[in-house]
Chain A
């Protein structure tokens, strides 16, 4: 399984874009990059995933570098409800969740 490196925590101002980096330099060619988040003690929530192209959905955008060794999740207009732990997970069938990034959105 590919190893990931994410910041332990980051703050973001409400209404501003939040850019969450993830390093996954050992990702293999057929592994997707998945992003999930976990709000307080709830079950994790799927956000987005991609293989090598940038992806966008109603929640976020995912930018993957050309060499696929890193990616950035972008929350375009962060709200207080986006405060959560964000997990970057390279994988395919079985996913392994690390410690993630604790994102705090401040008013």
Chain B
């Protein structure tokens, strides 16, 4: 199992550009989510999905779109990049375990917007 994979690892964008961060998991998990982590801070939930075709907003959804056409993939789209979106982005998938959930994270994408 590759687990949760993310591409690219690093990205630099200019203000106003758009791009898609890719996330894939091979564990057949229904639940996937995107977080951002600013320097010295905890993770904040951007969007999540409870299954193919179903997405919902987290704490900080503005400026981001998601879709979930397959169980495996959950891309995050930045519509018009802004310097405030400079952050590390983590994708995660989750499975039920022991009455609760175990969440597995990808290695992250480090995004800089100039």
Q: Which residues of A contact B (CB under 8 A)?
A: 32, 34, 36, 41-46, 49-51, 55, 87, 92-100
Best-surrounded residue of A43, A45, A87, A96 (most CB of chain B within 10 A): A43
CB contacts (< 8 Å) of B43 on chain A: these are: 44, 97
- Given the complex of chains A and B, what is the CA–CA distance between A100 and B37 in angstroms? 13
How far apart are the CA atoms of A97 and B90 in the complex, in Å? 12
The contact sample of 30 A-B pairs, CB cut-off 8 A, is A32-B99, A32-B101, A41-B108, A42-B107, A42-B108, A43-B4, A43-B90, A43-B105, A43-B107, A44-B90, A44-B105, A45-B105, A46-B102, A46-B103, A46-B104, A49-B101, A49-B102, A50-B100, A51-B99, A55-B98, A87-B42, A92-B100, A94-B48, A94-B58, A95-B45, A95-B103, A96-B59, A97-B44, A98-B42, A99-B42
Binding site for A on B (CB under 8 A): 4, 31, 33, 35, 41-45, 48, 58-59, 88, 90, 92, 97-108
